[in-house]
Amino acid sequence: MENQKKVMLSGIQPSGDLHLGNYLGAIKNWGARAEAFDCYYFMADMHTITVRQTPADLRRRTLEQLAQYIACGLDPEKNVLFVQSHVHQHAELGWVLNCYTMFGELSRMTQFKDKSAKNADNINGGLFTYPALMAADILLYQPDFVPVGEDQKQHVELTRNVAQRFNHIYGDVFKVPEPYIPKAGARVMGLTVPENKMSKSIPEGCVFLMEKPEDIQRKFKRAVTDSDTERCVRYDPEQKPGVSNLMQIYAACTGRTLDQIEAEFDGRGYGAFKPAVGEAVIELLRPIREEAARLLSDKAYLEQVCRTGAERASYVAEKTLRKVYKKVGFLAR
C-alpha cells in the first residue's frame, strides 16, 4: 500500500554550534514529527560556502551537527538525514532553476542584502543566486510542507513562484509546497541581553548543547536579572525581563508552571534561583551531550548514516531531476 504520509523537508547550515534556544524553541519537538510525516533533514554545507569557511572546521561541524540531531531525537531509521553535497542532484537542479528565477526576484532577497553588508569583500555569485539552490533543495523531494521561521518565509515564497512558473511552462512537474509554521516552543532570550533572542553571536549569553556543566552553571550565575531591590522571583516580562526569561527556561526544563516556580523560590532570592536554573539546564542537556559525544567517537557509524541517507535522498531526487531534464529538452543519459 502506498505511504500516505505527507512529506516535510528542512535544511540546516552547519555554520555553528546548536544552543539551548535552538533546542527548546524547535529541535525538541522534531523527533515526534516522524510519526506524522516523511521527514528529510539535510546539512546544507553547499550553502555555507557563500561565506569563506575553514575546510577542516566545516567537515567537523557537519559531523557534529549530525551527531547532535541524532542525540536530540532524530532517529536515522525514521528520518532521512543526509549531507547536501552528497546528493549531486541538488547542484544540478539548482542550475536549471537559476534559469527560471528572475534577476529582480533575487535582488529583492533581504538575506542577500544583509550578508553583502557583512561580507563586503566577498559578494560572490553564489551569495546572490543561492535562493535558486534553496528552491532546488526543496522541490527535489516534492514536499508538502517546509518548516519556516519568519526569516525564511521569503525563500519559501520564491520557491513557490519558481515552481508555479516552471509548471506553467511545462505542466505539472513540481508540487508547490506550503510553509509550515511549527507549534511555538519556548522562546529563549539571551542571558546577558534578555531583550534579544539567545544567539551564538553573543556567546557569553548563549548556552551551547555541548558545553561543559561547569561553564553552563557559570553563565547562569552571571545571568542578568534586574535592579529590583526586592530581588524576588516573579514573572513580569516588562519590568523583570531577565528573571522572566530564567523562569521560562526553568519551566521548559522542569515542567513546572510559573506560579509553582514563584512559590518554590518565595523569599529565597536570586542567589538560590539562578544556580537552580543552571542545574535544571545541565540535567536537561546531559543525555544529549553524552549521546552526541558517544556518536562522535564512532565516526564509522556517522559516515554510514550519511551514506544511507544520501542513497535514500538520491533515489527520490533523481526521479524529480529526470522529469525536469526531459521537460527542458536535455538528451537522456
* Torsion angles phi and psi, residue 83, rounded to 5: -100, 130
Active site residue 6: no
What nine digits make up the cell of 72?
536530540
What nine digits make up the cell of 110?
533581504
Active site residue 200: yes
153 with 179: CB under 8 angstroms?
yes
Catalytic residue among 6, 175, 197, 323: 197
Catalytic residue among 115, 219, 240, 274: 115
Q: Which residues contact 85 (CB under 8 A, 6 or more apart)?
A: 45, 46
Q: How far apart are CA 247 and CA 243, in angstroms?
A: 6
Query: 317 in helix, strand or coil?
Result: helix
Catalytic residue among 6, 28, 175, 200: 200
Q: How far apart are CA 164 and CA 175, in angstroms?
A: 9
* Torsion angles phi and psi, residue 199, rounded to 5: -145, 145
304 with 71: CB under 8 angstroms?
no
Q: How far apart are CA 180 and CA 160, in angstroms?
A: 13
Q: Which of left, alpha, beta for 267 (phi over 0: left; psi -120 to 50: alpha)?
A: left
Alpha helix (H) residue ranges in the chain: 20-25, 30-33, 45-48, 55-71, 89-98, 103-107, 110-118, 125-139, 153-170, 213-221, 241-254, 258-264, 270-296, 299-328
Q: How far apart are CA 93 and CA 61, in angstroms?
A: 26
User: C-alpha dihedral over 63, 316, 31, 134, to 10 degrees?
Assistant: 70
Q: What positions carry a catalytic annotation? A: 115, 197, 200
